[in-house]
Structure 1
Amino acid sequence: MFFQSDNWAGVHPSIAANLSKAGEGFAAAYGNSDADRTVLDLFSEVFERDVSVYFVGTGTAANSLALAAIQRPGGAVFSHCEAHVIEDECGAPDFFSGMRMAPVAGRAGRIELDLLSKAMGAYPQDAVHHGRSAGVTITQATEMGTVYSLDQISALSEVARSHNVPVHMDGARFANALVSLDTSPAEMTWRRGVDLLSFGATKNGCWCAEAIVCFNQDLAADLAFIQKRSAQLFSKSRFVAAQFEAYFADGLWLALARHANRMADQLRERLTAADMRLAWPTTTNEVFAILPKRVAGTALGRGAHFYEWPVPSFLQGEVAEKETLARFVTSFATTDAHVDELLEALKA
């Protein structure tokens, strides 16, 4: 009953097999192997345009180095107030970029457009004492299991453009958002004004595969040096490439995300049928429910693994003292039996 996080899941067999295959023989190092070049071409095919790609080891590295590429002295990067980049990365984006994260509120993990406009208006380019706007970062899917619609991404990008700053997307669960919206990678990113993407695959069946995808070539010039200086240029990068090669083959990455989302749909339906209260609607592989503390405690004692989530600001007053907010995350490895076992533990 492992619903703590999708990064608890293992590696998909096809990806593991390709990793094993990559271990044979010799190959050029530091991104110069045939496998590396093949995967860089694959990324361009997936996004329907030439892109620059930089492999990194973690999502935190991807976010931090992407933001370092847009740095401005005195810069402020606008993020949802409860996003991973501002809550869960130990200040790494601030450290590597030399900038500060400026929080913007919004219900269920999404930045509200009017609040973004107001927040950015407080940082005019000539206000030396306060700093200046340097970028906007959005999380897709959000930390709360929701997604930005394509029109919402376009609208946020337009606000950023009005301040002459780029847009970064944290795509730790990029595939889950993509299949939820039933759209294309290009349509969810650069066609909607996104300049940089942290492309995550580790949560969706890979062993350790994250990448910075750069759509704006004006920002790409420094990224190779940023990657090297931050110790993220791997000598045996063919092992990251091998994961991405199998990940993209025959649409595996989308199939894995669809399965994870489908398991979450099933969990949402089962929780509702059991008269348990969903905290807010979600459409990806994260499910949030408000449970009596005794129910949560009993389930944890019976071997269920899930996260007791901090109550967000928009939900204040809706979670009683004897209740807790629980987050359940499904993955490519979640099965119908796992959902059954979880429901049995909660009903107990």
Structure 2
Amino acid sequence: MQFASDNTAGVAPEIMAALAEANAGPVASYGADPLTGAVVEHLREIFEAPQAAVYLVATGTAANALSCAILTQPWGAIFCHRNAHIEEDECGAPEFYTGGAKLVLVEGAHAKMDPVGLRAAISHTARAGVHNVQRGMVSLTNATEAGTIYTPAEVAALSAVARDYKLPVHMDGARFANALVSLGCTPAEITWKAGVDVLSFGGTKNGCMGVEAVVIFDPARAWEFELRRKRGGHLFSKHRFLAAQMAAYLEGDLWLRLARQANAMATRLSAGIAAMPGASLTHPTQANEVFAAFPRASHRALQAAGASYYLWPFDQSLDGPDAEPLAARMVTSWATTEAEIDAFLAHLG
């Protein structure tokens, strides 16, 4: 009953096999190998963006921080939701890699910015000229940290606000596949066709060992990314091992199949929790994260049975009245089984 994070899941067998295959014989380094070139072309095809620049890095933090660095200056503001991953979980990496850009936090229900709130935040910024941080860029997370999803229309509405102020838009897609299969749209429709300039395309949370792609829809920004990636220590010499993962991830739409499994298990878990007396969902379940509150006694029973998940927020205590509801986050993965879900629900009830 492992629901702490999709990061705890192992590597999908197809991807592990691709890594072993890539290990045979010498191959050109630093991305000059044929497999990297094939990955670039495959991602361009998937996104209907033949001119896009595509680069691989090993972590989502690197993908996000380097993306922000090519989109804003050190004196720029990065407008994002208060619960965005770049705000809550990246230890100041965007600020570090941009050389000092400031995260300006925008409110919104279920971890989603809304156009009115975004416009208010942008218009409030730089009112005193040189004395203020300047308007820099917009970053949104899809799927969000609350497990919710921006639709193409919602992305387009936020992008339209950004364009009114001539600001570029970044999408943190660590769980991009989970969002995409839930929406049923094309990758292009949720990214550049909706106004996104740069996408962090996740692999690690969805069955890869450690690889993310940065898809830059305006190739004019590509050279700066290459320089920043090298200067920041994220250009792998044995680059084929990143490319091998991404190639297998994309082959035969494996990335979509893995995400569908994770989402289906979250839906099963969410429905089961919602049907329990004294339990309720705290955010809609739209991808592979379930946020719910249920009695403290149920939490004790689950944890005694070995269930792994997080109280959300962390500072809640298992000491106290049995009936009091405590909120929690459960995350499913490509490797989650129906048996795990059913065992969790049995202990919950």
Per the shorter chain, which TM-score range? over 0.9
SS in 2 for 1:154: helix
Shift of 1:294: 2.2
CA RMSD of aligned residues (A): 1.5
Alpha-carbon deviation of 1:219? 2.0
Deviation at 1:73, TM superposition (A): 3.8
Equivalent of residue 298 in structure 1, options 290, 301, 323? 301
Q: Which residue of 2 aligns with 1:307?
A: 310
Residues 25-67 of structure 1: CA distance to partner in whole angstroms, max 9, x if unpaired?
1100000001111111111111111211111111111110000
Q: CA deviation at 1:321?
A: 9.8
- Percent identity over the alignment is 46
**Per-residue deviation at 1:324?**
1.4
Match in the other structure for 1:47: 47
When normalised by structure 2's length, the TM-score is 0.94
Q: Give the structure 1 partner of residue 210 of structure 2.
A: 208
Q: Which residue of 1 aligns with 2:86?
A: 85
Question: Structure 1 300/159 Cα, relative in aligned 2: closer, same or farther at 3 Å?
Answer: same
Which position in structure 2 is the counterpart of 1:157? Answer: 159
Contact 1:125 1:133 in 2 (8 A): no
Deviations 1:224-263 (A, max 9, x none): 0000000000001101100111111111110110111111
Q: Quote the offset at 1:106 in angstroms.
A: 0.3
Change (3 A) 1:151 1:295: same
SS at match of 1:213: strand
Range with greater deviation from structure 2 (169-178 or 259-268): 259-268
Cα pair distance change 1:116/1:179, threshold 3 Å: same
Following the alignment from structure 1 to structure 2, what is the Cα–Cα distance between the partners of residues 229 and 91?
Answer: 18
SS in 1 for 2:71: coil
Counterpart of 2:319?
none
| CA offset digits 1:131-187 (Å, max 9, x no partner) | 211000000000000001111100100111111110000000000000010011111
C-alpha distance 293-124 of structure 1, shift in aligned 2 (>3 A): same
In the TM superposition, residue 295 of structure 1 has moved relative to its aligned partner by 1.4
The normalised TM-score by structure 1 is 0.95
Distance 2:334 2:74 in 1: 42
Comparing 338-347 with 20-29, which one deviates more in the overlay? 338-347
Cα displacement (A) at 1:344: 1.7
Which moves more between the two structures, 123-132 or 195-204?
123-132
**Moved >6 Å (runs of 4+):** none
Segments of 5+ residues of structure 1 without an aligned counterpart are 312-319
Match of 1:278 in 2: 281
CA shift at 1:122, angstroms?
1.3
Q: Confirm or deny: 8 A CA contact 1:58 1:208 kept in the other structure.
A: yes
Pair 1:4 & 2:7 matched: no
Indicate the SS of the match to 1:339. helix
Alpha-carbon shift at residue 125 of structure 1 (Å): 7.9
1:330 and 2:332 matched: yes
Task: Please give the secondary structure, in 1, of the residue aligned with 2:150.
Answer: coil
Partner amino acid for 2:97? F
Q: Distance in 2 between matches of 1:73 and 1:201?
A: 29
Aligned twin of 1:96: 97
For 2:56, what is the secondary structure of its paired residue?
A: strand
Q: Secondary structure at the match of 1:228?
A: helix
Assess if the C-alpha contact under 8 Å between 1:304 and 1:345 holds in 2: no
Per the alignment, residue 36 of structure 1 pairs with 36
* Alignment-derived partner of residue 16 in structure 2: 16
Matches within 5 A, 1:45-124: 45-50=45-50, 51-98=52-99, 99-124=101-126
Give the Cα separation in 2 of the matches to 1:278 and 1:70: 36
SS of residue matched to 1:69: helix
Kept in 2: contact 1:120–1:133 (CA 8 A):
yes
Q: Secondary structure at the match of 1:53?
A: strand
Query: What is the rounded CA distance, in whole Å, between the counterparts of 2:280 and 2:206 in structure 1?
Result: 27
Distance (Å, rounded) in 1 between the aligned partners of 2:168 and 2:233: 25
C-alpha distance in 1 between matches for 2:69 and 2:116:
26
Are 2:147 and 2:283, in contact at CA under 8 Å, matched by a contact in 1?
Answer: no
In the alignment, what sits opposite 1:134? 136
Give CA-to-partner distance per residue, 1:308-328, whole Å, 9 cap, x none: 1129xxxxxxxx993211111
Residues 102, 133 of structure 2: 8 Å contact kept: no
Gap regions ≥5 residues in structure 2: 315-321
Change in Cα spacing, 1:279 to 1:337, as seen in structure 2 (3 Å) is same
Q: Deviations for 1:106-146, whole angstroms, at most 9, x for unmatched residues?
A: 00010021111011001248711112110000000000000
The 8 Å contact of residues 126 and 132 in structure 1, kept in 2 or not, is answered as: no
Equivalent residue in structure 2 for 1:197, among 191, 199, 206: 199
Whether 2:245 is the aligned partner of 1:243: answer yes
For 1:167 and 1:336, how far apart are their aligned partners in 2? 38
Aligned residues: 339
